[in-house]
Structure 1
């Protein structure tokens, strides 16, 4: 074999190996892809599923031209690098197939095609291993249009958790501390400092997750995490919301409706920054959303889209930072599509976002030009009383395993916060 050919092949394999080990990050959807969500039991959920359970992935394409989309599933390790596990080992069947379940909107001003990808389906009949997964949606040219993370766990460990107030006096009114322990009747933990890893989530927001926290100490086969600082989250405030289930009427937190354009416009009441106010209790759904048209029979295809106009009065936050509108409706994205603009004439921040009608909860986030969120100077403040949902995921890899299993999941709510 010629020398130059050997060198080229060597470079190819080195490049391929390096590319395969790149950290997988979520690719934001283009402007025509909306309402991207994982659904289980008819409800939008944080994408964490027990091994063997069924769920769906859904999204809308505002072009409404029944475009062909394909999907690809990639198994990843704790740090979201693709594993070297053969695909046939982690899925039964095959992927890279066309999404066949789609339908067009009915009786809506905004035309769109609604896509559903069920797991399992006729091609991918089973996800066989627990772990981190990246779901990629491809176009006909097999280019990635967008991608989303999801996690599959086994029920092999018990996680007991409790939300407590911060043990630091300076943050006792602003932060929440997560104490938890991990035990298992099925697994004898080997060198847990190295082999056991955890992922902590607040309200299903991966951008605020905590990781790489080792057990503080062990009691037999129980791993205990009772840190003062390492497992603290800023409390934040209750999510804001609006409701436009009847898209023609001004309902909860909608000031007026305008029908002069091609689709309806909903103008929300101006929000005032709540950081300097006292904490106020009211129920929310922790960033989630519900697609609903009270005048339709099938919400997936009969719910319409509207331009929703947000406005925020926050004169004290004229910082060299940006303000974004986020929630599960946009996967807590800090993309330019959700960055607010300052209106000097009205002295408020404004933004119009196209959102599918129903019930939508949202929050304002402050971030710098690099996308680093400023939690301490949150627009709506931080309060230890805020009701937040926490998720603890347990990863484990013993010496004989080929990959990091997700062996357990725990939940805790700050409704039951204690000192």
Structure 2
């Protein structure tokens, strides 16, 4: 093979890596309870204003008190690496050790609790808006896990309105997002330079991306699409709480103490063919809490939580997963349920920290996620929607975020 051919092959692979979309990396089994939040938003998908702080915490259950390090990278609107060099978006240094950690206290499960806040004495600020990924590495410089976050500036007012679908076939099952962007700055050629992303219930994996303005009225940008900005409405999340390990709380049928506590949840039944019933949820989120603790971060214990779902005929041959923010809405072998033909149920056991949890059951075939196969889709479902507005001026080298809007389907209209 000639030198020239080898050069072109190497250039192709480097170029492909540089421009491919980067996804989050989920942690190994011994890393649990990753909580990532801003200083004002507890959604666990930080979308913070420029200058605000973010905090990420996690537990390591291997008991080794290992050192962990963090690195921060900047990305374009489509999560491909941006052209910015690190000093252009970060003041100070990353690749620093996480120095704030404590060991668990008075728990059956031993763990170390790590907390990182940015800015800090080393990473003094993130200087530009846009998409970011924070990656956590171990002593051997091996990637342990990564999480996405966004920083914006308030350069545009973003109105978000929820409507029912215009398509009569889905009028009872879908929710449509209408957007009005009123910029505070002059936008050049907005139909090409402005892109919007809609995120439902803080789940980036189901976000609708790269939406361009449908039309303009003066300087305002209008989005009144139907199919392009419609989501399956889903249903309210199921929930349980085990903030007191010695008593069966909401959603828990009974408990046992073995090597650790075990919480056996009531067996859930599919809700796709029964009428919609409203009961408040926290849109797939979770919170850590031990009623008897002064500091739940290090005094909340880990509990084996037993999930079970009654299997109907349409589910028996499906791949069913337990789904929620507690596992970063992951679809993998760690969240896939097993099927027990004798009892005709799906079951899964997960090790979770004490607290209050939202969850639901979903199915996936190949790359198609079906959130409604068990829970159903009902236009009345209360969902939270965030709209992020990206803008890249002509000649600019990165996508800035110029606005954030939020809406809820509580008062959805036709």
Same fold (TM over 0.5): yes
TM-score normalised by the chain length of structure 2: 0.96
Question: What are the Cα deviations for residues 218-252 of structure 1, in whole angstroms up to 9, with x where unaligned?
Answer: 01110000012111011100000001110111010
For 1:389, the equivalent position in structure 2 comes to 384
Deviation at 1:372, TM superposition (A): 2.2
RMSD of Structure 2 on Structure 1 (CA): 1.7
Q: Is 2:133–2:146's contact at 8 Å kept on the other side of the alignment?
A: yes
Q: Distance in 1 between matches of 2:94 and 2:6?
A: 30
For 1:353, the equivalent position in structure 2 comes to 350
Q: Secondary structure at the match of 2:394?
A: coil
Deviation at 1:320, TM superposition (A): 3.9
Q: Is 2:338–2:346's contact at 8 Å kept on the other side of the alignment?
A: yes
Q: Distance in 1 between matches of 2:228 and 2:316?
A: 28
Of residues 367, 370, 377, the one that matches 1:374 is 370
**What are the within-5 Å matches in structure 2 for residues 41-80 of structure 1?**
41=39, 43=42, 45-80=44-79
**What are the within-5 Å matches in structure 2 for residues 225-236 of structure 1?**
225-236=223-234
Q: Distance in 1 between matches of 2:37 and 2:210?
A: 29
Question: What are the Cα deviations for residues 257-315 of structure 1, in whole angstroms up to 9, with x where unaligned?
Answer: 010x2110000000010001100011111111110001011011111110000000131
Q: Distance in 2 between matches of 1:39 and 1:207?
A: 18
Q: Is 1:47–1:151's contact at 8 Å kept on the other side of the alignment?
A: yes
Corresponding position: 1:294 with 2:291: yes
Deviation at 1:128, TM superposition (A): 0.7
Report the number of matched residues: 412
Question: What are the Cα deviations for residues 155-192 of structure 1, in whole angstroms up to 9, with x where unaligned?
Answer: 1111011101111111011111101111112x212111
Q: Is 1:314–1:379's contact at 8 Å kept on the other side of the alignment?
A: no
For 1:137, the equivalent position in structure 2 comes to 136
Q: Distance in 2 between matches of 1:277 and 1:408?
A: 39
Q: Distance in 2 between matches of 1:121 and 1:10?
A: 43
Q: Distance in 2 between matches of 1:380 and 1:102?
A: 39
Corresponding position: 1:276 with 2:273: yes
Q: Distance in 2 between matches of 1:137 and 1:220?
A: 46
For 1:410, the equivalent position in structure 2 comes to 405
Q: Is 1:288–1:327's contact at 8 Å kept on the other side of the alignment?
A: yes
Q: Is 2:38–2:47's contact at 8 Å kept on the other side of the alignment?
A: no
TM-score normalised by the chain length of structure 1: 0.95
Corresponding position: 1:115 with 2:110: no
Q: Is 2:381–2:409's contact at 8 Å kept on the other side of the alignment?
A: yes
For 2:22, the equivalent position in structure 1 comes to 24
Corresponding position: 1:217 with 2:215: yes
Q: Distance in 2 between matches of 1:92 and 1:16?
A: 27
Q: Distance in 1 between matches of 2:159 and 2:51?
A: 23
Deviation at 1:44, TM superposition (A): 5.0
Q: Is 1:37–1:44's contact at 8 Å kept on the other side of the alignment?
A: no
Corresponding position: 1:309 with 2:306: yes
For 1:38, the equivalent position in structure 2 comes to 36
Q: Distance in 2 between matches of 1:357 and 1:204?
A: 22
For 2:192, the equivalent position in structure 1 comes to 194
Q: Distance in 2 between matches of 1:406 and 1:315?
A: 45
Corresponding position: 1:328 with 2:325: yes
Q: Is 1:77–1:132's contact at 8 Å kept on the other side of the alignment?
A: yes
Deviation at 1:8, TM superposition (A): 7.3
Deviation at 1:396, TM superposition (A): 0.2
Q: Secondary structure at the match of 2:403?
A: strand
Structure 1 residues not aligned, in runs of 5+: none
Deviation at 1:350, TM superposition (A): 0.3
Q: Is 1:76–1:133's contact at 8 Å kept on the other side of the alignment?
A: yes
Q: Distance in 2 between matches of 1:95 and 1:277?
A: 52
Q: Is 2:214–2:225's contact at 8 Å kept on the other side of the alignment?
A: yes
Corresponding position: 1:84 with 2:79: no
